[in-house]
Amino acid sequence: MKNLEIIISEIRSVETNAGITGTKTSVNPCGSILISIIFLVSMLTFSIYDIVNTIPYVITLLIVLIITSIPFSLILRKSKYLLLFVLFIAIFNPIIDRNTAIEIGSFKISYGWLSFFTILLRGFVSITTALILVISTGFIPLCKALEKLRLPNILVTQLLFVYRYIIVLLEEASQISNAIKSRGYGNKKFTIKLYAIFIAQLIIKTYTRAEMINMSMISRGFDGEIRTRSDMKWKRRDTFFCIIAIVIIFILRIVKPFGYIDKLL
């Protein structure tokens, strides 16, 4: 399945992109996580109908994308399915809430449409913030940062295991798929019987691989903690980064750069 190979390539590209010069940030991952949380909480404290004060957060993210040299096309490609889910959530608002919110001459905008566009923007900002965080820092350093921030060790370990072995699972699925295709004599569609064999073989191989991994980890003295050589020391530039970021968030939340538009409306 070509789709499986594409998914494997994109998952592996997370760490690769994080290592590209101009994309990887030198900021401590702990600072990046804290600022991202403050940024999102700041945006989400606005009213669901306050689309005007949500727009500056979108602009700020676009500027961050330019600074970190992360292609906008990459963000759209990785977030398209999540954005469709957000669209599905918001699509019923204009139907349910038809009360007029803004009236300009004969043109009327209901509260439902305001909440619809606000939810879309918030979804885009939330997903993009998470993607920028992962792409610019790397998944493994982020997990170590979560551990430093006192997230339960068992949750961090589970995240690392899922990230590490999801690729192994997909590779096994890809191998089984290729094996079935090579015996299919050019047939492009799988029958229900072949799908059943595919799933059964994948479960058996997954269980066997899990047993092998468990035995190898026990033989190496695994004690529940995954150790890496990543440097998590807090430096002066991290302090500067947090101060500047908090000032920007303060301006977005308290000063409200587009607040004058509300007065015009």
Q: What is the DSSP string of 103-141?
A: EETTEEEEHHHHHHHHHHHHHHHHHHHHHHHHHHH-HHH
Give tens-digit pLDDT for 195-209: 777 778 778 877 887
Does the residue 242 lie in any domain?
A: yes
265, pLDDT greater than 60:
no
258, pLDDT greater than 90:
no
| Number of domains present in the structure of the chain | 1
pLDDT at res. 40 = 94
Give tens-digit pLDDT for 59-93: 999 999 888 888 888 888 888 888 899 999 889 88
Give tens-digit pLDDT for 4-59: 666 666 666 666 655 443 445 578 888 999 999 999 999 999 988 888 889 999 99
The angle at the Cα of 180, spanning 179 to 185, to the nearest 5 degrees, equals 105
pLDDT at res. 121 = 93
pLDDT at res. 172 = 76
Does the residue 183 lie in any domain?
A: no
Does the residue 265 lie in any domain?
A: yes
Does the residue 13 lie in any domain?
A: no
> With bands split at pLDDT 50, 70 and 90, how would you rate the model's confidence at 248?
very high
Domain interval for residue 87: 25-137+235-265
> With bands split at pLDDT 50, 70 and 90, how would you rate the model's confidence at 144?
confident
pLDDT at res. 21 = 39
Does the residue 245 lie in any domain?
A: yes
Q: What is the DSSP string of 139-197?
A: HHHHHHHHHHTT--HHHHHHHHHHHHHHHHHHHHHHHHHHHHHHTTTT--S--HHHHHH
> With bands split at pLDDT 50, 70 and 90, how would you rate the model's confidence at 125?
very high
Does the residue 54 lie in any domain?
A: yes
Give tens-digit pLDDT for 160-192: 888 877 777 777 777 777 777 776 655 666 677
> With bands split at pLDDT 50, 70 and 90, how would you rate the model's confidence at 231?
low
Report, as an integer, the average pLDDT of 254-263: 70
Does the residue 66 lie in any domain?
A: yes
Q: What is the CA radius of gyration of the chain?
A: 23
Does the residue 130 lie in any domain?
A: yes
| Whether 110 contacts 94, CB under 8 Å | yes
Give tens-digit pLDDT for 102-111: 777 677 888 8
Report, as an integer, the average pLDDT of 215-240: 76
